[in-house]
Chains A and B, each alone.
Chain A
Amino acid sequence: MTLSIFGFQSRSATVLLALLLLSFQAVTAQQGFYEVEYEFVKTSAQPAKLLLDANEWRQYVSSDKANLLDSGTLTSTFGEECLNMSGLKVPIPYRDPRVDGYQVQYIDEGFKLDCTATPHENGMIKVVTRVGKSSLSPDAASAYGQDTFLCDTTILLRRGQTAILTTTKGLVTKQYLSKVYPGTTFGENETVLLAITIR
């Protein structure tokens, strides 16, 4: 059997086919897709390192040491800002004297992440991210007050790695996280981790 493309036979056809495949590979590589996963975990024994292999992290999360509170996944393209939110858009009405009436501004409540990933040197990926979890908690100062746990940072990661962006433990954790996650109790010696994995 002989290979034939556009009338080219055997060797020429093979070269042409290789060229075709390379061109398609170049196009798909430049798309630079990635998947990012965020997880909030409650634990009484946090990992020794804050930068782990994703499989190592997966084992930790599925062990009895960790209690997964929340997670979210997003697929995007390098260089593009992406957003994932699940929760409420809460309207805040305010009086605008210019129109002699009420206007509305919206605030977000729930799980929200903003992320921009770009390739860095030596196969690393630079991730600029803001991720948070909030829960409406009206108080004397505002009917729209929110209890929140958020982190705004920039890190370097490789595909297949997990980074624990932030951890929190202590009195303030106990006080506020039980409001952010109603129905879950938090002890003073328990740590809450916010981790991100890039695939």
Chain B
Amino acid sequence: MKQRRFQWMAVVGLLITLIPQAWAEEPVKTAKAAKLVPVVYHIEMMEVSDQTWAKLQKSPGPSKNKVEGKLLQSADLMAVTGVDAVTLLGHKVPITYYDPRATQFQVQFVDIGFKVDVVCRSVEANVFSVTSRHEFSTMTGVRTEGEGAQTTSYPETLVFISATKIPSMSIGETVVLGKATGPSVARQLAKLGRPVTSKNIIATLRLERP
């Protein structure tokens, strides 16, 4: 009888020890929010001929056709739907400033170079709405504020920005985000050591599966 009581006490003791252990770590919750779909954004900046540009203008919007041109820069970025994705290749300039809301000094960065900030949302199966901000910038000079020890320098940049929203786009489709023409973009490319033969510099986005 004594042995039986000891046995049950041992079992109860064991359970009392193990059950709290099993629940000690907060159970890892599985995300059950909106369905996340993996996508790849393929961004290209290229130089196109007048003929190609004229052809692209005839059918604006997403297309299955590949855009032919001289590639200047490209990037792929993998992400899921509904979440912002950013890639930056370039230069970051820190600027310290006083933030009155936080009542302290903060460091803010100015980004220069090739930057893509993009997000897409599922509209229906394999169809997405895409909000994209593509930026290509080069530093041309510096502005200074203040005097003596309180001098702060701010970079001056030449930019080619295409910030746009495509309401409906499918996997495999390419869209022209923007085009830049003129001395500004020519100067930017010259700074990267590329003489411009054509004035049509375009930025494109293609949606792909990983």
Contacts and interface: CB of A to CB of B under 8 A. Distances in A.
A63 interface: no
Given A142-B155, A168-B87, A176-B90, A126 B74 contact: no
A68 interface: no
Interface in B55-112: 71-80, 83-96, 105-107, 110
A51 B139 CA distance: 35
B22 interface: yes
B102 to A, nearest CB: 12
Interface in A153-199: 153-156, 163-177
B51 interface: no
Q: Secondary structure at chain B's binding surface: helix, strand, loop or mixed?
A: strand
B85 A171 contact: no
A141 B79 CA distance: 33
Contacts of A92: 94, 96, 107
A155 B30 contact: no
Contact of B73 (A126, A146, A173): A173
B149 interface: yes
Contacts of B40: 50
Given A27-B22, A105-B107, A172-B114, A149 B89 contact: yes
A24 to B, nearest CB: 8
A149 B91 CA distance: 9
B30 A121 contact: yes
A126 B36 contact: yes
B38 interface: yes
B10 A164 contact: no
B142 interface: yes
Interface stretch (B121-129, B166-174, B176-184, B189-197): B189-197
B105 A96 contact: yes
A149 B95 contact: no
B154 A141 contact: yes
A88 B2 CA distance: 67
A159 to B, nearest CB: 14
B45 interface: yes
A30 B77 CA distance: 32
Nearest to A78: B28
Contact of A30 (B27, B88, B107, B194): B27
A20 interface: yes
Given A32-B28, A118-B31, A141 B96 contact: no
A147 B86 contact: no
Given A7-B6, A31-B25, A50-B76, A153 B89 contact: no
B87 A166 contact: yes
Nearest to B45: A170
Interface in A38-65: 49-51
A120 B142 contact: no
A188 B80 CA distance: 29
Interface string A1-41: 00000111000000010001001001100111000000000
Contacts of B7: 6-8
| The 7 A-B residue pairs with the shortest CB-CB distance in the complex, in nearest-first order | A170-B73, A141-B155, A6-B10, A51-B210, A153-B85, A154-B83, A172-B114
Given A7-B3, A141-B110, 5 more contacts: A20-B14, A30-B28, A51-B210, A151-B87, A167-B75
26 contacts: A23-B18, A30-B25, A32-B28, A50-B76, A79-B26, A92-B96, A94-B96, A97-B150, A105-B105, A107-B94, A126-B36, A139-B93, A139-B139, A140-B142, A141-B155, A146-B92, A146-B94, A154-B83, A155-B78, A166-B78, A168-B73, A169-B71, A171-B192, A176-B90, A176-B91, A177-B89
